[in-house]
């Protein structure tokens, strides 16, 4: 009997640092995100099997949204066509899949993810028990708005029970990608006491994302000023300060 364990690989651009391709368990994928526009409503997704064995994959597309607290929300959709939906890649083989929009482009960007799921190989007679790790990869697909508008707002930095809190609101009509969020604490006189960084994520058009970063307990009584910095994938940095004359040990 063959036991199967699935591995999920998240292709967040912040994790990929802008790379144009990714390798997952011997599967080379390019590009790592797809933009479809009114002038280019179709694209290609190229796969290459660089692993030691032949592999089969199944493809599906899901509508993609983000909840400010719980994260990714996926649902069924027929807006995007991917062909073929099942394919086999022999060792060293390269195949290109067609990806296209089935809906008109509108005033706000639409977002989807195409998932590539490795299918288990047929069991061989008298095969010994083993764990087979299968790959599942999600590639973002963006349907561009007819007219691009990039804009965002940051809430005032506040102090809650678990740490410093900041809300990033996307007031534009295309996605915003936060690469990283950095919290710095300063003592009276300006000496830096600590800095803590957390991984960013997408803030989709019209959405918002809440970031909460804990203040170290050994420094919270000495902190007199907090600064939270939000860095985007376009190397933009936005900052919000908060004076904490009574310390920053939470409410």
Show me where the domains of the chain are located. Answer: 2-143, 152-243
CATH of domain 152-243: 2.60.40.10
Are the folds of 2-143 and 152-243 the same?
yes
| Homologous superfamily of domain range 2-143 | Immunoglobulins (2.60.40.10)
Tokens matching residue 246: 């009574």
* Cα radius of gyration (the chain): 22
- Three-state DSSP at 155 gives coil
Tens-of-pLDDT digits for all 251 residues of the chain? 333 333 444 443 333 434 455 555 688 999 999 999 999 999 999 999 998 989 999 999 999 999 877 889 999 999 999 999 999 999 999 999 999 999 999 999 999 999 999 998 776 555 555 555 677 899 999 999 999 999 999 999 999 888 999 999 999 999 999 999 999 999 999 999 999 999 999 999 999 999 999 999 999 999 999 999 999 999 999 999 999 999 998 76
CA distance 47 to 237: 35
């Amino acid at each position: 009997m063959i036991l199967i364990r699935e591995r999920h690989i998240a292709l967040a651009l912040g994790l990929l640092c802008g790379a144009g391709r990714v390798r997952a368990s011997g599967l080379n994928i390019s590009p790592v995100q797809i933009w479809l526009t009114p002038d280019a409503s179709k694209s290609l997704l190229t796969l290459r099997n660089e692993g030691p064995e032949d592999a089969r994959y199944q493809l599906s597309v899901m509508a993609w949204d983000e909840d400010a607290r719980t994260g990714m929300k996926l649902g069924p959709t027929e807006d995007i066509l991917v062909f073929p939906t099942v394919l086999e890649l022999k060792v060293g083989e390269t195949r290109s899949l067609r990806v296209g929009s089935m809906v008109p482009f509108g005033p706000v960007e639409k977002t989807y993810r195409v998932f590539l799921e490795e299918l288990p190989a047929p069991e061989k007679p008298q095969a010994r028990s083993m764990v087979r790790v299968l790959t599942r990869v999600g590639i973002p697909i963006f349907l561009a708005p007819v007219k691009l508008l990039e804009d965002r707002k940051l809430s005032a930095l506040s102090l809650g029970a678990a740490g410093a809190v900041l809300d990033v609101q996307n007031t534009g009509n295309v996605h915003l990608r936060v690469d990283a969020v950095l919290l710095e604490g300063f003592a009276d006189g300006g000496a830096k006491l600590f800095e803590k960084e957390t991984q960013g994520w997408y803030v989709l058009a019209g959405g918002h994302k809440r970031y909460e970063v804990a203040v170290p307990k050994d420094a919270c009584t000495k902190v007199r000023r907090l600064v939270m910095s939000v860095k985007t994938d376009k190397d933009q940095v936005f900052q919000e300060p908060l004076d904490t004359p009574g310390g920053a040990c939470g409410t």
